[in-house]
Amino acid sequence: MTLDHRQQHMQSLRAGLSLLVAPIEYLVDLPVNLGRWVDESLSSRQSLIEENTRLHAQNLLMQARSLKNADLETENQRLRELLGSSVKVADRVLIAEIYKIDLDPFKHIVRLNKSARHGIYLDQPLLDAHGVMGQIIEIMPLNSTARLITDPGHSIPVQVSRNGLRTIALGSGKINQLDLPYLPNNADIEVGDLLVTSGLGGIYPHGYPVAKVTAIERAPALEFARIKAEPTAHINRSSEVLLVWSGDRIKMMQTQSPATPAESSSTGAPATKGPTQ
């Protein structure tokens, strides 16, 4: 049975059984949702107004930044075209919510409230507002499961944004730490360097922030430096995450069903037009 599952034969059985346990998960998640709802409906007018003005200001700031961003993006695209490379920048996203339930303390996996109905696919990357969080590992009829980048069984191809040095970041099993065990002692990397996804491996799109280097230990006796990094994503605090469709996937979705923009709040709005290669 275990072997069967490894070959994905039991997927349908698992999906069926998940319908049985979904109510339990919903029930456990309920108090938290309820608490949030009560909090929202009881918060005073004053605080709502304050929050509104704050968000308004933030929105303005973001818009200004995104204007500049759009300009840079087109410029970048043009330069890439000149170079003859075909990197796609525009991404589509969908907002998903994490269930407030613990699955297994030794694995960093979370359950999301989005399922196959929303068009998500296996291995789809997961972000929050600050960086990469993980990838989808299982899709069930009512929800889906995602593995976080800090899971001890997870690794993510990254590069140092300062100089493009590529390596792999492994999950450490601690919620605030990634390990970079494959860099030699003389590698050009410093504390504070930002690691971004390198786009190799084909799962994570290129250029999203992953982690910041926090500690480097160069032991001359060892072949490789021991480097630790802290994820930029708020892995144990975010309750809402973004599911990303990048480049090819957007095209695939559009050819499959032209009318599936469920609640896609495409962030890169001004620049979503498909780049000509």
Partner 1 sequence: MTTTARQGGLLIVITIIAAMALTIIPLPESIEHFRPEWVALVIIYWCMALPQRIGVGRAWMTGLLLDVMTGSLLGQHALSMTVVAFLVINLYQRIRLFPLGQQALVIWMMLNLYQLLLLWFDGITGQPPKGLNFWWPPLIGMLFWPAVFLLLRGLRRKYKVQ
Least Å distance, CB 26 to partner 1, is: 10
* Cβ-based nearer residue to partner 1, 4 or 188: 4
Question: How distant, in Å, are the alpha carbons of 29, 30, 38 from that of 42?
Answer: 20, 18, 6
Residues 186-245 that bind partner 1 (CB under 8 A): 236
Q: How many residues does the chain have?
A: 277
Residues 123-142 that bind partner 1 (CB under 8 A): 137-138
Least Å distance, CB 17 to partner 1, is: 4
The verdict on 116 binding partner 1 (CB under 8 A) reads: no
Least Å distance, CB 167 to partner 1, is: 19
Q: What number of other Cβ atoms are within 10 A of residue 18's Cβ?
A: 20
Kindly indicate which of the ranges 25-33, 36-44, 155-163, 243-251 contains the residues binding partner 1, using the contact rule CB under 8 A: 25-33
How many Å apart are CA 60 and CA 55, to the nearest integer? 9
Structure tokens given for 275? 């780049």
Least Å distance, CB 5 to partner 1, is: 5
Structure tokens given for 236? 């144990």
Report the side by side order of strands in the sheet with 125-127.
Answer: 91-97, 240-246, 125-127, 132-139, 144-148, 109-112
DSSP state of 248: H
The verdict on 261 binding partner 1 (CB under 8 A) reads: no
The verdict on 8 binding partner 1 (CB under 8 A) reads: no
Q: Which amino acid is at 52?
A: N
* Cβ-based nearer residue to partner 1, 14 or 56: 14
Considering CB under 8 A, how many residues would be counted as binding partner 1?
35
Q: What number of other Cβ atoms are within 10 A of residue 236's Cβ?
A: 12
Helix (H) or strand (E) holding 228: strand 226-231
Ranges assigned E (strand) in the chain: 91-97, 109-112, 125-127, 132-139, 144-148, 155-160, 166-171, 178-180, 194-197, 209-217, 226-231, 240-246
* Cβ-based nearer residue to partner 1, 155 or 254: 155
The verdict on 5 binding partner 1 (CB under 8 A) reads: yes
The verdict on 252 binding partner 1 (CB under 8 A) reads: no
DSSP state of 269: G
The verdict on 153 binding partner 1 (CB under 8 A) reads: yes
Kindly indicate which of the ranges 60-68, 101-109, 194-202, 219-227 contains the residues binding partner 1, using the contact rule CB under 8 A: 101-109
106 SS3 class:
coil
Least Å distance, CB 57 to partner 1, is: 33
Sequence-distant (≥ 6) Cβ neighbours of residue 161 within 8 angstroms = 193, 194, 195, 196, 209
- Interface with partner 1 (CB under 8 A), residue from 77, 145, 185, 266: 145
The verdict on 175 binding partner 1 (CB under 8 A) reads: yes
Q: Name the residues that contact partner 1, by CB under 8 A.
A: 1-2, 4-6, 10, 13-14, 17-18, 20-21, 24-25, 27-28, 32, 100-107, 109, 111, 137-138, 145, 152-153, 173, 175, 236
